[in-house]
Structure 1
Amino acid sequence: MAGSIAKRPDGRWRARYRDDTGRERSRHFARKVDAASWLDEVTSTLHTGTYVNPRAGRVTFQAFYDDWAPRQLWLPSTRANADLATASVPFGDLPLKAIRRSHIETWVKSISARWAPTTIKTRFVIVRSVFRAAVADRVIAADPTVGVALPRRRKAEAAMRIPTVSQVGLLLAHADSTRVSTRHGFRAYVALCAFAGLRKGEGAGIQIGDIDFSRRQLAVSRQLQRDGDTFAIRLPKYGSERVVHLPDELVEMLRAHIDAFLPDETPDRWLFTVSDGPMYDNDIDWRWRATRNSAGLPHVRLHDLRHFYASGLIAAGCDVVTVQRALGHSSATTTLNTYSHLWPTAEDRTREAAAGLMKQAHEASRRDTPERAPSPPQREPPRPVLG
């Protein structure tokens, strides 16, 4: 809607316009040219649909988050992480329109001394999503997090720890302690993580009916997560429901586990139990710590077994899509971002191809070279007769 400019009795110029709700708004300037420039800018945003009410940005960051967060389709754990991230910012009580890029940079700098780069990125992404929501709601005109630099993260190949085959064998050997009865049956859980690539919560959420012994398949359709003093049943991370093809040895181990610990149970019975409920969260954590300490491998994380599984698939020649589906990644990009350093490079393939050519050439050389006839024996020269 077009505005107008008029000169006031005090000599200043008043620029007026009506916003997208029909309400009249105005601003005063000492010079007419400044009033015209401001009015042109405002009316342009009205025509393009990017107009922001100048009063809307008065809401504080925390108040906007408290109103916005309950509408998000988040899991309770995601909401808890978001609450932690937003509570850590020093500008929670500032109006959104007053928050500048410098505020964000100061916050990132302060937390970089005590948090890992991956944690900083996770919390920064949550805070950034709040500002982006404010921009989308036309509460503020621009996102102040744009262009903020984050601490550099370690490369995947440097940060990733992959256990060796002998180390995994040692962990399996120590998973079922003969001295600690409450750890009996944990060996099958460790095997599922190492040879089926299950995440911690996915392994906890397996029920007997999820195992198809005839087809040697495992359906991963749920995970268990802590919810206060109990657990909650949820879909796997990022909706990564999948069917995992199991090796024969793992199928037999799971069968033996059921025969030993759950012989008369129904298909909906949890595969790993503690008392009358499923084994989850802390139940798994302390059993894993006991296992790795007993094996003399205190540095190995449970999630490292998932990396072990992925590295084995890649070493066996599986392509990206196969590995993606086996791990339940949301996209092949996620798989490549995590494990690209494990796939053979172009240099490796070139070197292997050249080695193959060289081997073939050597074999052809030996095959096509004519055999030489044996040389006649050399006769010794006659010895002189001594007179």
Structure 2
Amino acid sequence: MNLVARSVPFGDLQLKNIRGSHLEAWVKQMHVDGLAPRTIANRFTAVRTIFRAAVRDRRIPTDPTVDVSRPPKKPTSREQQVEVPTPEAVAELLSATEPRMRAYIGVCAFAGLRLGEASALNIDAIDFLKRTLRVERQVQYKPKFGAEVKDPKHASKREVYIADELAEMLARHIKEHGAAPSGWLFHNGADRPLPPSTVDSWWQRTVKAAGTAGLHIHGLRHFYASGLIAAGCDVVTVQRALGHAKPSLTLDVYSHLWPTAEDRTRKASSAMLRDVLGHGADSVRTEGVN
């Protein structure tokens, strides 16, 4: 609730002086700032709860949130849900961010980690010899308890095969910035992994500096998934890399990124045609010599 209170631009106004227009402007600004639809909806619901309680207690006569359009928790289409940044945008983010968080972007964009999984990354989860990264924990925010380290989502425990370049980026991070005494790679200085509120503040500064305002950090995970798909990885490979419980979930989110049956048929036919014509050309050249 403290995070929500800090995010409202009308926090210095008395409840009776807050109008629907204040709330509309706040919701629009959150969209501009790149917050996820679910985050916007949750913050709006928290504020609406305060106004409803104030009406019940007769501190204000009406609830100003009534006529405000409630933001959807999910985008209305798959294309809207899957916001894939360009390689140029990811490069700008890496360049614009503070050095100690460059590897954070790296594990999200090139290993597909969720925000909570990246925050809970521990040095013992990295095997530099095998070039693997184990996802074993996540940082999760609970209203009553704050940030907690917990097991990741169902079926999300996984081993991710990482590129040599990402392994080098992580090794450089450890050499230059170290790790917390308990091994956390991204920590708050008190031997605790970064809480979601700190990551959110850093991300907003970074996208603004990179000129990519509006991009949500989850877009880096989509960037990773789209790269695997573009490289020809099948749905089960992508599912396991992302830690989805079922291939159907992966298809539900990313099916529009895979080539269609028509695309695959044309590509296969084209390969066969080139192969046949290639042999034909060799035959023609041989016949000419004889």
What TM-score, normalized to structure 2? 0.71
2:176 corresponds to which of 260, 263, 268: 260
Change (3 A) 1:227 1:159: closer
Matches of 2:232 and 2:266, distance apart in 1: 17
Matches of 1:253 and 1:111, distance apart in 2: 49
Q: Structure 1: which 4+ aligned runs deviate by more than 6 Å?
A: none
Residues 3-42 of structure 1 aligned to structure 2 (within 5 Å): none
**Residue aligning to 1:155:** 77
- Structure 2, unpaired ranges of 5+: 1-41, 50-65
**Residue aligning to 1:271:** 185
1:232 partnered with 2:145: no
**Residue aligning to 1:114:** 70
Matches of 2:162 and 2:271, distance apart in 1: 33
TM-aligned CA deviation for residue 111 of structure 1: 10
Change (3 A) 1:225 1:216: same
Matches of 2:207 and 2:155, distance apart in 1: 30
SS in 2 for 1:278: coil
Matches of 1:211 and 1:301, distance apart in 2: 26
The one-character-per-residue Cα deviations of 1:182-235 (angstroms, maximum 9, x if unpaired) are xx4110101010001000111111111111112111111111122347311111
SS in 1 for 2:154: helix
SS in 2 for 1:185: helix
Largest Rg, 1 or 2: 1
Residues 31-180 of structure 1 aligned to structure 2 (within 5 Å): 113-116=69-72, 118=74, 154-176=76-98
1:335 partnered with 2:254: no
TM-aligned CA deviation for residue 112 of structure 1: 11
SS in 2 for 1:274: coil
1:216 partnered with 2:131: yes
Matches of 2:111 and 2:174, distance apart in 1: 17
**Residue aligning to 2:3:** none
Change (3 A) 1:158 1:361: farther
1:323 partnered with 2:238: yes
Change (3 A) 1:112 1:360: farther
**Residue aligning to 2:261:** 346
Matches of 2:239 and 2:171, distance apart in 1: 27
Matches of 1:154 and 1:358, distance apart in 2: 41
Query: What is the RMSD of the two structures over their aligned residues, measured on CA atoms?
Result: 2.6
Matches of 1:224 and 1:212, distance apart in 2: 21
Matches of 1:364 and 1:216, distance apart in 2: 42
SS in 2 for 1:116: coil
SS in 1 for 2:139: strand
TM-aligned CA deviation for residue 154 of structure 1: 2.9
The one-character-per-residue Cα deviations of 1:61-82 (angstroms, maximum 9, x if unpaired) are xxxxxxxxxxxxxxxxxxxx8x
What TM-score, normalized to structure 1? 0.54
TM-aligned CA deviation for residue 363 of structure 1: 1.8
Percent identity between matched residues is: 42
Change (3 A) 1:117 1:205: closer
The answer to which of 363-372 and 234-243 deviates more is 363-372
**Residue aligning to 1:77:** none
**Residue aligning to 2:110:** 195
1:362 corresponds to which of 250, 264, 277: 277
Q: Counting helix residues as a fraction of each chain, which structure ranks higher?
A: 2
Larger RCO, structures 1/2 (Cα 8 Å, 6+ apart): 2
Matches of 1:172 and 1:348, distance apart in 2: 34
1:371 partnered with 2:285: no
The one-character-per-residue Cα deviations of 1:141-190 (angstroms, maximum 9, x if unpaired) are xxxxxxxxxxxx633134421111121111111112xxxxxxx4110101
TM-aligned CA deviation for residue 304 of structure 1: 0.3
The one-character-per-residue Cα deviations of 1:39-95 (angstroms, maximum 9, x if unpaired) are xxxxxxxxxxxxxxxxxxxxxxxxxxxxxxxxxxxxxxxxxx8xx69x98xxxxxxx
TM-aligned CA deviation for residue 250 of structure 1: 0.8
Which amino acid in 1 is paired with 2:217?
L
The one-character-per-residue Cα deviations of 1:319-366 (angstroms, maximum 9, x if unpaired) are 111111110111111011011111111101111012112212322332
SS in 1 for 2:90: helix
Change (3 A) 1:372 1:248: closer
Matches of 2:231 and 2:157, distance apart in 1: 24
SS in 2 for 1:231: strand
